[in-house]
Chain A
């Protein structure tokens, strides 16, 4: 893979060599397990969802394939922030790629403690607040479902964090744009659009729910057009960078997200079906910039807004 300077970008004052990031929850935290070449073209990667205390994760079936997608109910299994910082993070640091800490918390106090531990060991690294994880069944709505709670928690994080602050939003809300605006107003440096889409699966051989929690998060190509719409609308509504996350599998998907308004793109489930998916996307995007003579990937962001389909075109049929 040839590094391409046009693919480098700046998000909230921090430089990344590529707009392609590995999404939270799909990548092993032990570098000895990383397949060869799989981090080529990757600008950085998000940790698995980290919590204050260790979590064993959900019982029962955790993954279930759907047409062009996969549902998951992992339940934030992780060793807890302290063990993560002491063991896994020491390895990840050596990878030479920016690590974005993906954080989940049930109270404001938990968030403050998480940020404190990270600051003490890792310093002002980028963090991504998970205000959307639909898998934690412990009482009540998610942070994103209550705009006031969302504003409160993002404001709190901003006041207590000098590093980059991304807020990973939930698509499972009544007004997505409202939550994106709330995150922006409260000081988020970027919004990640979006987490998995809540769905349900029934095991017809038993006529019972597949998942112990009944609902689970859908990802993969099945959600791509849904997330693309959210990216389009969020770009039109906010001024901070939008990071797309939802079903991106090919360079064409990544280019679509960027043209619709994304500054960067997260790759998740795509790696399940092709371990070199990100590396291939990098090559594809890089040649697109070359072919179209576009100076930098940032110039591609939102390019489709204001452009309308030419109705005189001859290629209006499916190939």
Chain B
């Protein structure tokens, strides 16, 4: 695995997916990145010490020219500054961070993304396109920005199965309801989304024996496994989301324990 480092990169493209949701293409300087789906980068689009910390972002795509795609929603100061970047602007990156998803063993890879959580699964979908059958699912809540976002995803991946909680687009219901309908016993599930979605998926894992891998999100300070700020409790004790994860077997995670 490639050792993590800090390096600069240039914004070479910027695309609006929906109000407040962006995909940017970042081309690292002097570095050829080797990355797996599920790995992420810490990014800062400013050189000052304020904001003080990098922000973690999943990789949503990797391109032949060596650039990576980062898809994100503006949720605070750091993402706001990243969204303000224009083509040609330099940003700082740290990575590649984390373990990434392990090689799939199932006959079909079911990729289940809750809202913005679909980002790393878009990379997975592309990465395994020619080697394994994949199925992409997107689940959204009723906030208006997710409708144009869903359309943007459908435009790139027309066979995406879409679920909205209020039925505004796609089928009405949650992504977990949708999973229960389409699953086959030889499937393997990779999921990323809000924590509530993983809780609901626990029931799927109980009923089926198929493996479920999930990519977690946490506030992070270092991103290199030093500060222990992003811990999650597992059956094997506390783990770091940034360095031991962000991908874990769903059944390994102890949600309710401190």
Chain A interface residues toward B at CB < 8 A: 25-28, 30, 33, 35-37, 48, 54, 56-70, 72, 74, 77, 220-221, 249, 269, 271-276
Q: Is the CB of B53 within 8 A of A273?
A: yes
User: Which 5 A-B pairs rank lowest in CB-CB distance, beginning with the nearest?
Assistant: A59-B258, A63-B229, A28-B225, A63-B221, A62-B229
Q: Which of B6, B221, B230 contacts A276 (CB 8 A)?
A: B6
Q: A56-B258, A273-B53 are in contact. Are A72 and B221 (CB under 8 A)?
A: yes
* Given A35-B224, A221-B52, 5 additional A-B pairs, CB 8 A: A33-B225, A36-B5, A57-B231, A58-B258, A61-B219
Cβ-based interface call for B51 (8 A): yes
Q: A65-B52, A67-B50, A69-B52 are in contact. Are A275 and B227 (CB under 8 A)?
A: no
Q: Is the CB of A36 within 8 A of B228?
A: no
Q: Which residues of B contact A74 (CB under 8 A)?
A: 227-229
Cβ-based interface call for B233 (8 A): yes
Contact with A along B1-45 (1 / 0, CB 8 A): 001111000000000000000000000000000000000000010
Q: Which of B94, B219, B237 contacts A62 (CB 8 A)?
A: B219
Q: Is the CB of A30 within 8 A of B229?
A: no
Cβ-based interface call for B207 (8 A): no
Interface residues of B in 216-258 (CB under 8 A from A): 219-222, 224-231, 233, 237-238, 243, 257-258
Q: Which residues of B contact A64 (CB under 8 A)?
A: 219
Tell me the complex Cα distance, A126–B161, Å: 59
Q: Is the CB of B6 within 8 A of A57?
A: no
Residue of A nearest to B53 (CB): A65
Tell me the complex Cα distance, A203–B226, Å: 25
Tell me the complex Cα distance, A37–B224, Å: 14
Tell me the complex Cα distance, A66–B53, Å: 9
Cβ-based interface call for B54 (8 A): yes
Tell me the complex Cα distance, A271–B221, Å: 10
Q: Is the CB of B225 within 8 A of A56?
A: no
Tell me the complex Cα distance, A273–B47, Å: 9
Rounded to whole Å, the gap between the CB of A98 and the closest CB of chain B is: 18
Q: Is the CB of A272 within 8 A of B53?
A: yes
Q: Which residues of A contact B94 (CB under 8 A)?
A: 275
Q: Is the CB of B224 within 8 A of A275?
A: yes
Q: Is the CB of A275 within 8 A of B258?
A: no
21 examples of A-B residue contacts, CB within 8 angstroms: A26-B222, A26-B227, A35-B6, A56-B233, A56-B238, A58-B258, A61-B219, A62-B229, A63-B53, A63-B227, A63-B230, A67-B50, A68-B49, A70-B53, A77-B238, A220-B49, A272-B227, A273-B54, A274-B6, A275-B5, A275-B6
Q: Is the CB of A273 within 8 A of B227?
A: no
Residue of A nearest to B258 (CB): A59
Q: Which of A59, A65, A72 contacts B227 (CB 8 A)?
A: A72
Q: Which residues of A contact B224 (CB under 8 A)?
A: 28, 33, 35, 275
Rounded to whole Å, the gap between the CB of B75 and the closest CB of chain A is: 11
Residue of A nearest to B229 (CB): A63
Q: Which residues of B contact A30 (CB under 8 A)?
A: 225
Residue of B nearest to A247 (CB): B49
Q: Which of A25, A56, A249 contacts B49 (CB 8 A)?
A: A249
Rounded to whole Å, the gap between the CB of B162 and the closest CB of chain A is: 29
Q: Is the CB of B243 within 8 A of A33?
A: yes
Q: Which residues of A contact B227 (CB under 8 A)?
A: 25-26, 63, 72, 74, 272
Tell me the complex Cα distance, A25–B221, Å: 12
Q: Is the CB of A28 within 8 A of B238?
A: no
Tell me the complex Cα distance, A66–B237, Å: 29
Rounded to whole Å, the gap between the CB of A306 and the closest CB of chain B is: 31
Q: Is the CB of A28 within 8 A of B226?
A: yes
Tell me the complex Cα distance, A266–B76, Å: 31
Q: Which residues of B contact A249 (CB under 8 A)?
A: 49
Q: Which residues of B contact A54 (CB under 8 A)?
A: 237
Q: Which residues of A contact B258 (CB under 8 A)?
A: 56, 58-60
Residue of B nearest to A74 (CB): B228
Q: Which residues of A contact B54 (CB under 8 A)?
A: 272-273
Among the interface residues B49, B94, B219, B233, which one has the most CB atoms of the partner chain A within 10 A? B49
Q: Which residues of B contact A70 (CB under 8 A)?
A: 52-53, 221
Interface residues of B in 135-174 (CB under 8 A from A): none
Q: Is the CB of A57 within 8 A of B238?
A: yes
Q: Is the CB of A220 within 8 A of B52?
A: yes
Residue of B nearest to A63 (CB): B229
